Amino acid sequence: MADPIVLAEGLHKSFGGTHALRGLDLSVPQGTVCGVLGPNGAGKTTAVRILATLSDPDAGHARIAGYDVVREADQVRARIGLAGQYAAVDEKLTGRGNLRMFGRLYHLSRREAHRRADELLERFGLMDAADRQVTGYSGGMRRRLDLITSLILRPEVLFLDEPTTGLDPRSRGEIWDSVRELVAEGTTVLLTTQYLDEADRLADDIAVIDHGQVVATGTPDELKATIGDHLDVVLEDPAALRPAAAVLNALTGTDPTMTGDDGLSVALPGGAFRLAGIVRELDRAGIAAADVRLRRPTLDEVFLRLTDRKENVA
Ligand SMILES: Nc1ncnc2c1ncn2[C@@H]1O[C@H](COP(=O)(O)OP(=O)(O)O)[C@@H](O)[C@H]1O
Ligand SMILES: [Mg+2]
């Protein structure tokens, strides 16, 4: 396989006593979307800032298109774009004004900056709002403007740090469409998100990170396969929830989560479990189950499991 266009090895970064990255590794093949999925505080922004040359790692190294993000930062900057959760556009300018201003900041000629601004506004559906002040833009429009601002120099690699956090479903869909279009043109995208469905829809590969480390990588399907089957139990009597939870915990070593008023769900470690054995154990404890079934975990469950944020039975 070709060399990865984004490569991070053993990145460490601390802020005072906070160890934000603890040996983070990432590898993204050219032309793909890598979804960096992690809860708040996992280290996503810290990682993106290092890859985008805005911050230096304490240890480890990273390369973009073969260029070291610390020693060859200029080469890296010439090849990347960055858009974040907090739009960096100027509120007082119009959409078109913002794009022209950034074009000039990036040393495009006046003519070139104007041409590129109109091209991007047209392509990403903001032409109608081009001459309105950004103050009057919706959250989604602002975020889209921020995104296209990062495209002025046609980056090879685009970093999107939680591009849809806080947006309504329609605006999220518009951002997703824009990302897909860029990828179709060959742009490599590294996107951070807290949303599983976003990673599932956009990413070729997902890196789940937690506490500054990658805890799992793979396609969405591979990730679902990394944890065993899930067991769902529906009880005949909700009063049996606690004893049933105790039986399932004894069998699996994990606290089940509640599903509705009379249901429990638990991940099974490995593949050594037989439905019949589980039913027998419940039976032995005098617990009547209306339904017991095995199924593949959802991506949500994989995420909660991998990031150790289980919701326990109270
Ligand atoms: N500039 C900073 N100063 C102090 N702590 C920071 C700073 N930036 C990040 N952190 C801490 O590092 C950890 C990772 O943060 P961050 O990379 O922003 O996570 P995420 O983007 O995944 O939410 C958090 O505990 C955060 O509080
Ligand atoms: Mg962040």
Cα 139 to ligand 1 centre (Å): 24
Residue whose CA is closest, atom 18 of ligand 1? 45
Q: Is the CB of 24 under 6 A from ligand 1?
A: no
What confidence tens digit (pLDDT) does each residue in 74-95 have? 999 999 999 977 667 899 999 9
Q: Is the CB of 15 under 6 A from ligand 1?
A: yes
Q: Do residues 173 and 232 share a domain?
A: no
Q: What is the CATH number of the domain that holds 209?
A: 3.40.50.300
Q: Is the CB of 43 under 6 A from ligand 1?
A: yes
Q: At 199, give phi and psi (nearest 5°).
A: -60, -40
Query: What tokens were used for 179?
Result: 């990302």
Overall number of domains in the chain: 2
Atom in ligand 1 nearest the alpha carbon of residue 162: 21
Residue whose CA is closest, atom 13 of ligand 1? 20
Q: Do residues 215 and 242 share a domain?
A: no
**11 forms bridges with which residues in the sheet?**
24
Task: Examine residue 312 and state whether it is found in any structural domain, yes or no.
Answer: no
Domain ranges, residue 276 = 228-296
Q: Which of 191, 224, 257 is the last residue of a domain?
A: 224
Query: What tokens were used for 133?
Result: 């002040």
What confidence tens digit (pLDDT) does each residue in 161-207 have? 999 988 888 889 988 999 998 999 899 999 999 988 899 899 999 99
Residue whose CA is closest, atom 16 of ligand 1? 43
pLDDT, residue 277, reads: 86
DSSP 61-76: EEEETTEETTTTHHHH
Q: Do residues 180 and 272 share a domain?
A: no
What confidence tens digit (pLDDT) does each residue in 111-123 have? 999 999 999 999 8
Task: Examine residue 70 and state whether it is found in any structural domain, yes or no.
Answer: yes
Task: Examine residue 94 and state whether it is found in any structural domain, yes or no.
Answer: yes
